[in-house]
Structure 1
Amino acid sequence: MPTRKGEATKARIVEAAADLLISGNDVNLDDVIGLTGTSKGQIFHYFPHGKDELRRAAAERHLSRVAEADAPAEPLTSWPAWERWIDRIVELHSQQTIHDACEIAALAGRALDNDTFTRNLVARMYERWIDNLCEQLSAMQSAGLVRSDAPVPALASAFVAALQGGAIMDRATGSHQHLTNALHQALALLHAYEGSFDT
């Protein structure tokens, strides 16, 4: 049975490998050893299949960090809640410099990965984001805040695409405007389906 110290060591190894991935680097065992102060023997103890197994664990951790960073702090069941969620994402993103690793922008690179396992992980991440936003929008429909004819899956997809695409463009240009513009335009599209009353 793994000890608490062993679990902490394994977690440290995975975090370092995830940092390498979002920085645009592949998982190199020597780099992980240097970052964590562990040995190759320790890495193979926790990841007996070596680099590929660690790389997949790092990809899973990367996706969980994205989910943690961009999860709404409150249910998105009112217009002010959507505004606050967008403001929070933009604020977190604006705190990053051009030299910082960007979790969201790095996700696109993983979607193009040659490893089918990693691509499938990213696909499930996108699907989870869209499903979550669909639930929030359906709740707004039930409350009469969004019209019943609103294309909920398409609207949810538009928000995820705005988040991903805006983050990549900001990262490439060193701007903080593309993500802001994309998310606010997605919200404007949602407002086009606003219900007949607000609460």
Structure 2
Amino acid sequence: MDKRERLIESTRELLWERGYVGTSPKAIQERSGAGQGSMYHHFQGKSELALAALARSADDLRARAEAEFSAPGSVVERVTVYLRRERDVLKGCPVGRLAQDPDVMADADLRKPVEEFFGWLTGRLAELLGEGRTAGELDAELDPLATATALVAVLQGGYILARAAGSPEVFAKAVDGALGLLATKET
């Protein structure tokens, strides 16, 4: 991995662990093993590096989710795989945690990958749920967009509740509750 990549990956980790304010250039340099000269050779400053790291995190999450959404199986099976996949629940979502960071939300450039990721995720889930409704797998009265928004909120809220309780079991219960709402319609 070259220095630029080490800088981005180190920043991704630090943003996830500490947030934007807690991620200092010095911490990035120490974690990446890159000096100040290398950092400023590749990036104009912390904000530009954080943007690259945040965009990479969002892209990785999107790619993983899309692989699960595009896999074989019913809509409910695919959504279930996505919701129940292994996650580092007590660390929270690497993108969602930054939505709670006032410095990220105050900067339009840094906020953009967060907004785009959650917009994509909600839209993609709504698309899947619409397919399930059309195929008769889900209740005809189900509102795909409202339900997709609720599923994203359950995930993000589940992270927060699990962190507050210090237990991933809380997250698992939130996911189980959300999946119960998608129970296949009776024929």
The answer to whether the aligner puts 1:141 opposite 2:133 as a matched pair is: yes
* Aligned equivalent of 1:119: 111
Deviates further, 155-164 or 53-62: 53-62
The answer to whether the aligner puts 1:176 opposite 2:162 as a matched pair is: no
From 177, 182, 186, give the equivalent of 1:190.
182
The 5 Å alignment of 1:1-199 reads 8-26=2-20, 27-47=23-43, 49-68=44-63, 70-71=65-66, 73=68, 74=71, 77-88=74-85, 91-93=86-88, 103=94, 106-110=97-101, 113-191=105-183, 194-195=184-185, 197=187
* TM-score normalised according to structure 2 size: 0.82
Q: Per-residue displacement from partner, 1:83-124 (whole Å, max 9, x unpaired)? A: 333332xx434xx6x5x5752652442476322222232121
Q: 1:24 touches 1:106 (CA, 8 Å); kept in 2?
A: no
The offset of 1:187, in angstroms, is 1.6
Match of 2:31, as an amino acid? L
The offset of 1:132, in angstroms, is 0.9
Match of 1:66, as an amino acid? L
- Gap change, CA 1:76 and 1:171, over 3 Å in 2: farther
- Gap change, CA 1:84 and 1:178, over 3 Å in 2: same
Identify unmatched segments of 5+ residues in structure 2.
none
The offset of 1:34, in angstroms, is 1.1
Q: 2:57 touches 2:95 (CA, 8 Å); kept in 1?
A: no
CA distance in 1 between partners of 2:98 and 2:127 (Å) = 23
Aligned residues: 182
CA distance in 1 between partners of 2:128 and 2:76 (Å) = 11
Q: 1:63 touches 1:125 (CA, 8 Å); kept in 2?
A: yes
Identify unmatched segments of 5+ residues in structure 1.
none
- Gap change, CA 1:105 and 1:173, over 3 Å in 2: farther
- Gap change, CA 1:154 and 1:25, over 3 Å in 2: closer
CA distance in 1 between partners of 2:42 and 2:62 (Å) = 25
CA distance in 1 between partners of 2:13 and 2:129 (Å) = 33
CA distance in 1 between partners of 2:59 and 2:75 (Å) = 26
Identity level (%):
26
Give the alignment's Cα RMSD to 1 decimal. Answer: 2.6
Which of the two has higher C-alpha Rg?
1
